[in-house]
Structure 1
């Protein structure tokens, strides 16, 4: 059996699950330390090895360390965040306003992972029925990057409160390239035990058993042996 075909060892498997369970959306704990090039290269390689429909590999990676560029992005965030706050009222709005939702300037590196919606030509294998598969594929590159970063002790925060058209203008993106994920990246002082939105009382993790259906949406899973495993 070749090395690529063998099952993961117990330690390797535990490391994978640890990265999944301990991954956090980091906003407040960034350190100024630069990411060494060998580490950054490993993260980008991990992202580039994500699966993609028709092997189209629609992603590009825009590395952003310019303070001027990041200040422009931050201005867009503040504008959009002010709009978002008006979705809530009373105590909920005050809780929202107190949340730290970005680390654009604090993190030593920003990264925009884009999706080139024209890559692969007009007829990409597997994309005929679901044209958004290029976007979904790029999300897998984001997840690969994020999990690899956690394994390296590096925090990542996804800033989604941005005007995508303005962001595309700031980064001078071609018209067919969509800025899918704007990420703040850097070493951190700590990884929180729980997601920050959970610790701040914004939302709690939903119970897994309530999200599993059997054969059709209307039929709940009644396999108690499997349900019991979720408690472990």
Structure 2
């Protein structure tokens, strides 16, 4: 064991919070206390970012009319997605895909408009700004689970529409609508597995040495 390793009890907590993180769709209302929200956002802001570009921007949605507008847009996109599902359309429409009106807090996470000026880390892989934002979202997600709060990542939206709703400048791009707050219970398994929509693949199916996995 490395001399820099956490003690076993602390190490096990890290693995536990990863294993018990869930993409939540069902919320119990309530509130997220301001000190807790501050801790979650601070954890997100500590995420790694290529070239220390910190491309993330967070918009806390406090206005109920704006929250309703986000919900309505996501609902429109949900119906369009269902139409594209073909024979699974009815099955898809029975899935709950967001909790924008039910959760305590809604956050829009976006790529900043100034990210194009960052060359370090983006010259050959320009999508590393998105990877960095995803790391920030994961930090927030894991921290929320450790605080006993549920979080769901809503991705059924047109970035341009959400950008207009939040007054984003040209060049910015909305990446996620995050639903955050207390829940009655965490799903014992990923919800899409519980609903028999799909089955998660095993790691050994996705891992290989030196050659592409089959």
Per the normalisation by structure 1, the TM-score is 0.87
Q: Which residue of 2 aligns with 1:9?
A: 7
- Could you tell me which of 204, 210, 213 is aligned with 1:215? 210
Q: State the SS of the aligned residue for 2:187.
A: coil
In structure 1, C-alpha distance between the alignment counterparts of 2:206 and 2:56, rounded to whole Å: 31
- Check the 8 A contact 1:65/1:108 in 2, yes or no: no
Mapped contact 2:29–2:104 kept (Cα < 8 A): yes
Matched, 1:128 2:126: no
Partner of 1:150: 145
Q: Is residue 181 of structure 1 aligned with residue 179 of structure 2?
A: no
Q: Which stretches of structure 1, 4 residues or longer, exceed 3 Å deviation after superposition? A: none
Q: d(CA) in 2 for partners of 1:6 and 1:147?
A: 22
Cα distance, 1:205 vs structure 2 = 1.0
- Mapped partners of 1:62, 1:122: distance in 2: 22
Count of aligned pairs between the two proteins: 212
Q: Distance in 1 between matches of 2:117 and 2:164?
A: 25
Give the CA deviation at 1:113.
1.3
| Structure whose alpha-carbon radius of gyration is higher | 1
TM-score by length of 2: 0.94
Q: What is the distance in 1 between the residues matched to 2:56 and 2:204?
A: 34
> Structure 1 pair 137/148, CA: closer, same or farther in 2 (3 Å)?
same
Q: CA deviation at 1:88?
A: 2.3
The RMSD of aligned alpha carbons is 1.4
Q: Using the TM superposition, give the Cα deviation of residue 109 of structure 1 relative to its aligned residue in structure 2, in angstroms.
A: 0.7
Alpha-carbon shift at residue 209 of structure 1 (Å): 1.0
Partner deviation per Cα, 1:30-69 (whole Å, 9 max, x = no partner): 1221111111111000000000010011111101122100
CA contact (8 A) 2:51 2:118 kept: no
Q: 1:101 Cα deviation (Å)?
A: 0.4
Mapped contact 1:56–1:124 kept (Cα < 8 A) = no
Q: CA deviation at 1:123?
A: 4.2
Whole-angstrom CA distance in 1 between matches of 2:47 and 2:68 = 30
Q: Which runs of 5+ in 1 are unaligned?
A: 221-232
